[in-house]
Amino acid sequence: MSSASPLPRSPTLLGADRSDRIYRSLLTAIAFALPGLIVIILGVLFIEALPALKRFGPSFLWTSTWDPVAEVYGAAPMIFGTFASSLLALLIAVPLALSVAIFLTEFSPRWLRQPVAFLVELLAAIPSVVYGTWGIFVLIPFLRAHVVPPLKAVFGWTPFLQGVFYGNSLLAGGIILAIMIVPYIAAVSREVLLAVPTSQREAALAMGATRWEAVRSAVLPYGRAGLIGAVILGLGRALGETMAVTMLIGNRHDIALSLLQPAYTMAAAIANEFSEATTGMYQSALMEVGLILFVLTVAVNAVARILIWRVARGAAVGSKAL
């Protein structure tokens, strides 16, 4: 490669060398442009959020006033709503998705595996706005008629089911999120479980474990890091999901413990209010919300991918001795 070579070289070879070099630098530039984009987005968010950062300082994170008229902004309700709806979604989605993954890798008849895995992954292809519409016309009426009354009858005394259920609520938003993240968690968990060597299952079975005991005591512990990664990946999805949640969560700047009350998420707030953000400080406050959401989702996704990667590479297992 070095042009300092004292040996005479034919012009054609030199030419080939040059075009090679141009091609390579072009590809290198493109390859660096994508991570560069992340840095640029982060930079823009930061610069645009700077006025709000300066004015409200860290108290932006824990104050609840969101008053465009008085130009006072605090994001606590949407930060709370983002986490509350995502955790509710995980609570519902994780058992479902893990059951699907365990069934498909360990118990299902062979011919059923591909079709079911395919259909579950297809859930991820449905546009978010369709989930939102389905939520409004099917899920909310169903919840109102068949789910909330019995829930209230049994758990009505807890702080989580206070107030009247009007439809748009943390509960509706959390459930729609759960349905949307099931395919991601199920697909990744399935990959993780498939990566668990047969020898581990056989070891457990040969010791007199039943199929389920082998899953519980050998397969799941072996894939634990990857399964946690799958769940965190689902969390990352849930934190950033916008459209369907915006349509169902009620969009109210308020912290309420009750699942039946409307709430707000960071993503929903940005989507709803950006067109109304006329003043500089309003825009800047939304940018700061975006910055928080960006950092949060990037961090969550990074952790998830590292965990999954470790299982897939066998690094979490340490069979280096062989």
Partner 1 sequence: MNETTAVLESRAYIFWYGPAQALHDISCAIPTNAITALIGPSGCGKTTFLRSINRMHDLTPGVRHSGDIQLDAESIFAPGTDVVALRQRVGMVFQRPNPFPKPVYDNVAYGPRLNVLAPPRELPDRVERALRQAALWDEVKDRLREPGTALSGGQQQRLCIARALANEPEMLLLDEPCSALDPIATQRIEELLVELKQTYTIVIVTHNMQQAARVSDYTGFFYVGHLVEFGTTQQVFTRPTDERTEAYITGRFG
* Residue ranges that bind partner 1, judged by CB under 8 A: 110, 197, 199-200, 202-210, 213, 217-218, 221-222, 316-319, 321-322
Tokens 């930079």, located at residue: 43
Tell me the C-alpha distance between 255 and 263, whole Å. 7
Question: Residue 29: enclosing H or E segment and its boundaries?
Answer: helix 11-56
Per DSSP, the residues of 101-155 read HHIIIIIS-HHHHHHHHHHHHHGGGS-HHHHHHHIIIIIHHHIIIIIHHHHHHHH
Nearer to partner 1, 156 or 314 (CB): 314
Q: In the complex, what is the shortest distance from the CB of residue 201 to partner 1, in angstroms, rounded to a whole number? A: 8
Nearer to partner 1, 65 or 210 (CB): 210
Q: In the complex, what is the shortest distance from the CB of residue 314 to partner 1, in angstroms, rounded to a whole number? A: 10
Tell me the C-alpha distance between 199 and 178, whole Å. 34
Contact, 246 vs 132, CB < 8 A?
A: yes
Nearer to partner 1, 103 or 294 (CB): 103
Nearer to partner 1, 164 or 321 (CB): 321
Q: In the complex, what is the shortest distance from the CB of residue 317 to partner 1, in angstroms, rounded to a whole number? A: 5
Q: In the complex, what is the shortest distance from the CB of residue 316 to partner 1, in angstroms, rounded to a whole number? A: 7
Q: Alpha carbon 79 to chain centroid distance? A: 15
Nearer to partner 1, 220 or 287 (CB): 220
Q: In the complex, what is the shortest distance from the CB of residue 313 to partner 1, in angstroms, rounded to a whole number? A: 14
Q: In the complex, what is the shortest distance from the CB of residue 227 to partner 1, in angstroms, rounded to a whole number? A: 14
Tell me the C-alpha distance between 96 and 123, whole Å. 14
Nearer to partner 1, 42 or 203 (CB): 203
Residue 257: helix, strand or coil by DSSP? coil
